[in-house]
Amino acid sequence: MKTCSRCKKEKSLDRFYANRQARDGKCAACKECMSEYNRARWSAMTPDRRRRNKLSLRYGLTVEQYEEMLTAQDGVCAICGSLPLPGVSLCVDHDHRCCPGEKTCGRCLRKLLCTPCNLVIGYAYESVSILRSAADYVEEVNS
């Protein structure tokens, strides 16, 4: 059991995130308090700052590097060629064999995709055979 430094409630250790630097190996604040703190911090940021943080933390990119990628693609999705919706950025695609989660090492970045195209290749597990089979299916049912 441990007492949260924020809410002052005693909670079991599984309700605290790991922290290698702490004596007991756990963060001082519980998961619930940390989530509340992070939500408040995130919502207090300007949209421009949120964008910079997301590009930097997830992909190791600056806004300028993202804009260079976008310009190299003529501002459109690398798969379907559509323009992003107003106020919506294209997704940064990366090789999930290198970095399986959302966060990347920065060396496995590919191109920029619209959200539907990004979801299609993600839900197909980036499998060429699944995507070809899906295309064959669509051709069959639409003829």
What is the pLDDT at residue 10?
96
pTM: 0.68
- pLDDT tens, residue by residue, 83-105: 998 888 999 999 888 888 888 88
Q: Is 58 helix (H, G, I), strand (E, B) or coil?
A: helix
Domains and CATH numbers, the chain: 2-43 (no CATH), 45-141 (3.40.1800.10)
Whether 108 contacts 98, CB under 8 Å:
yes
Cα–Cα distance between 89 and 115 in angstroms, integer?
9
Cα–Cα distance between 111 and 77 in angstroms, integer?
8
What is the pLDDT at residue 107?
87
Rounded to the nearest angstrom, the gap between the alpha carbon of residue 62 and the centroid of all alpha carbons in its chain is: 15
- pLDDT tens, residue by residue, 31-83: 999 999 989 988 888 888 888 988 998 899 999 999 999 999 999 999 999 99
Q: Is 94 helix (H, G, I), strand (E, B) or coil?
A: strand
What is the pLDDT at residue 110?
94
Whether 90 contacts 112, CB under 8 Å:
yes
Which spans in the chain are helix H? 31-44, 47-54, 63-72, 115-123, 128-141
**pLDDT at residue 27 is higher than 90:** yes
